[in-house]
Amino acid sequence: MKITANNPDRKSWLPVDSDSDFPIQNIPFGVFITKDDIITIGTRIGEFAIDLGAFHQLGYFNGIPLTDDMFMQDSLNDFIADGRKTWRHVRNRIADVFDVNNPKLQQNEKHKEAIIFDVNEVEMLMPIDVGDYTDFYSSKEHATNVGKMFRGEDNALMPNWLHIPVGYHGRSSSVVVSGTSIRRPYGQTMPKGATKPVFGPSKLLDMELETAFITTAANNLGEPIPIEDAYENIFGMVLLNDWSARDIQKWEYVPLGPFLGKNFASTISAWIVTMDALEPFRCESPKKEIQPLPYLQEKGTNNNFDIKLEAVLETENGDLNILSESNTKYLYWSMAQQLAHHTVNGCNVRSGDMMGSGTISGPTKSSYGSMLELTWGGKKPITLKDRTTRTFFKDGDNVVLRGYCENENVRIGFGKCTGKILPPVKLKK
Span of 68-76, 101-109, 131-139, 292-300 interacting with Mn ion by CB under 5 A: 131-139
The catalytic residue among 142, 163, 169, 341 is 142
Q: Which of residues 136-195 bind Mn ion (CB under 5 A)?
A: none
Shorter beta-carbon distance to Mn ion: residue 94 or 209: 209
User: CB of 240: closest distance to Mn ion in angstroms?
Assistant: 8
Cα–Cα distance, 344 to 295 (Å, whole number): 8
DSSP count for the chain of H helices, then E strands = 10, 26
Query: Would you tell me how many other CB atoms lie within 10 Å of the CB of residue 324?
Result: 25
User: CB of 244: closest distance to Mn ion in angstroms?
Assistant: 7
Span of 1-9, 133-141, 302-310, 323-331 interacting with Mn ion by CB under 5 A: 133-141
Count interface residues toward Mn ion (CB under 5 A). 3
Cα–Cα distance, 367 to 352 (Å, whole number): 30
Shorter beta-carbon distance to Mn ion: residue 122 or 209: 209
Shorter beta-carbon distance to Mn ion: residue 254 or 290: 254
Nearest to Mn ion by Cβ — which residue?
Answer: 242
Is residue 142 part of the annotated active site? The answer reads: yes
Cα–Cα distance, 209 to 327 (Å, whole number): 10
User: Before 255, cis peptide (omega within 30)?
Assistant: yes
**Pairing label, strands 182-183, 411-422:** parallel
The phi, psi pair for 6, rounded to 5°, reads: -85, -5
DSSP element (H, E) containing 374: helix 371-374
User: CB of 343: closest distance to Mn ion in angstroms?
Assistant: 20
Are 174 and 266 spatial neighbours (Cβ–Cβ below 8 Å)? Answer: yes
User: CB of 327: closest distance to Mn ion in angstroms?
Assistant: 17
- Got the DSSP string for 376-413? TTTTSPEEPTTS-EESSPPTT-EEEEEEEEE-SS-EEE
Span of 91-99, 158-166, 178-186, 203-211 interacting with Mn ion by CB under 5 A: 203-211
DSSP element (H, E) containing 148: helix 140-151
Length of the chain: 429
Shorter beta-carbon distance to Mn ion: residue 242 or 276: 242
User: CB of 143: closest distance to Mn ion in angstroms?
Assistant: 11
Q: Which of residues 221-260 bind Mn ion (CB under 5 A)?
A: 242
Query: Would you tell me how many other CB atoms lie within 10 Å of the CB of residue 328?
Result: 25
* Type of residue found at 282: R
Shorter beta-carbon distance to Mn ion: residue 41 or 240: 240
Shorter beta-carbon distance to Mn ion: residue 115 or 265: 265
Span of 67-75, 152-160, 205-213, 416-424 interacting with Mn ion by CB under 5 A: 205-213
User: CB of 207: closest distance to Mn ion in angstroms?
Assistant: 10
Q: Is there binding between residue 135 and Mn ion (CB under 5 A)? A: yes
Closest CA to 224 of 341, 131, 333: 341
Span of 93-101, 127-135, 182-190, 296-304 interacting with Mn ion by CB under 5 A: 127-135
Cα–Cα distance, 328 to 265 (Å, whole number): 22
Shorter beta-carbon distance to Mn ion: residue 52 or 166: 166
Cα–Cα distance, 375 to 382 (Å, whole number): 7
Q: Give 52's DSSP letter.
A: H
User: CB of 285: closest distance to Mn ion in angstroms?
Assistant: 20
* Positions marked active-site: 142
Q: Where do contacts with Mn ion occur on this chain (CB under 5 A)?
A: 135, 208, 242
